[in-house]
Amino acid sequence: MQGSVDVGHLVDRHPKVTPDRLIAQLTPPPTFADVSFDTYLPDAAEPTQAAAVQVCRQFCAQAVERRAGKKKLFGRREVLPGVGLYLDGGFGVGKTHLLASSYYELPEPKAFATFGELTQLASVFGFVECIELLSDYVVVCIDEFELDDPGNTTLISRLLSQLVERGVSVAATSNTLPEQLGEGRFAAQDFLREINTLAAIFTTVRIDGPDYRHRDLPAAPEPLSDNEVATRAARTPGATLDDFDALCAHLATMHPSRYLTLIEGVSEVFITGVHGIDDQNVALRLVSLTDRLYDAGIPVVASGSKMDAVFSEEMLAGGFRKKYLRATSRLLALTAAGQTGRTIT
């Protein structure tokens, strides 16, 4: 049995993210570091999954052709617009697996970012500088495409439109069709032009199927007691132990783009006193942290409420419903891994 170790706390960490670090982390998360089209296993009962693999392969071939341009006289090449691919589907059908596989299939330079990382990149470097930074890329892959406010709608619409015009291809995943982005979150009709511009960039591919994270998993693990959580944390090298409310308050002190650095080097996250949330801002920050934990494959062990009861029924009925459902799905996988030792995939 392992002896007791000094337990760190996420609330004691105050990460900084430099511009160079932002660029360096534009790669698929660790849980998708070794994926490929060949390792994607389509469900035989869901033909859209096998079809999506073929479309992704075609997209990669087209992206290379578009980046090369069209040969003209005197050895010059005409810049051709990039192509767009939009993988739409429910939770856990393998969209990120296919997106990461597309990234690995394509040559450098290329980028893989969450939607939040992309908006942060634009805010750090500036809109014009961000376009110049990415304009020579073969592809920009965007995981979990979200448009949560009018500013992001306009920013990302213009950014992607100009990148595509310069020959950059764009692949994205989401649980919402492009023409429906922003519905229920703000006055989408006021930004219809921007949303339609985004929709025009992409060819949408629907992927159906059940959430693979719930296969062979219980609905939600029974939470441990506070003492059990603290005892296990003390026996786990590289673990962190935090009170739920204190952790949520700490997340509010930094931009979500820093959450990846916040959990860097952590082996397992232990949390006491988990309870339901009724504050939208707190909930969205928890969603962002959950995404980073899931991407990094870091298990979670918690006391208090079950993880499928964190987001209120009112929230699950609101405009961020799909985001909260995705987070719940991932929290269940993280806590199941924490209690059973299963690998997070």
Locate tokens 């949520």: which residue? Answer: 248
Interior/surface letters 272-310, b for 16+ CB within 10 angstroms, e for the rest: bbbeebeeeeebbbbbbbbbbbbbbbbbbbbbbbbbebb
Residues 6+ apart with CB under 8 A from 154: 191, 194
Average pLDDT, stretch 61-77?
81
Question: Pick the residue with more confidence: 13 or 197?
Answer: 13
pLDDT of residue 187: 39
Range scoring the smallest mean pLDDT among 117-131, 139-153, 219-233, 256-270: 139-153
pLDDT above 70 covers a percentage of the chain that reads 84
pLDDT of residue 175: 61
Average pLDDT, stretch 166-184?
70
Q: Are strands 70-71 and 77-78 parallel, antiparallel or unpaired?
A: antiparallel
Locate tokens 């009018």: which residue? Answer: 150
pLDDT of residue 329: 85
Range scoring the smallest mean pLDDT among 167-171, 186-190, 219-223, 289-293: 186-190
pLDDT > 70? residue 5: no
pLDDT of residue 148: 57
How confident is residue 196, by pLDDT bands cut at 50, 70 and 90?
low
Backbone φ and ψ for 39, nearest 5 degrees, come out as: -90, -5
Average pLDDT, rounded, for the chain? 84
pLDDT of residue 190: 44
Q: Where are the domains positioned within the chain?
A: 44-209, 213-340
How confident is residue 194, by pLDDT bands cut at 50, 70 and 90?
low
pLDDT above 90 covers a percentage of the chain that reads 47
pLDDT of residue 100: 97
pLDDT > 50? residue 335: yes
Most confident of 101-110, 209-218, 221-230: 101-110
Q: Please report, in angstroms and rounded to a whole number, the separation of the first and last CA atoms in the chain.
A: 27
Question: Pick the residue with more confidence: 109 or 145?
Answer: 109
How confident is residue 186, by pLDDT bands cut at 50, 70 and 90?
very low
Report whether 8 contacts 239 (CB < 8 A): yes
Average pLDDT, stretch 248-269?
92
- For residue range 48-60, what is the model confidence (pLDDT) as tens digits? 999 999 999 999 9
pLDDT of residue 72: 65
- In the CATH hierarchy, which fold is given to the domain comprising 44-209? Rossmann fold (3.40.50)
pLDDT > 90? residue 192: no
pLDDT > 50? residue 185: no
pLDDT > 80? residue 183: no
What tokens does 5 get? Answer: 């170790």
How confident is residue 268, by pLDDT bands cut at 50, 70 and 90?
very high
pLDDT of residue 48: 92
Backbone φ and ψ for 205, nearest 5 degrees, come out as: -120, 120
- Which pTM was predicted? 0.75
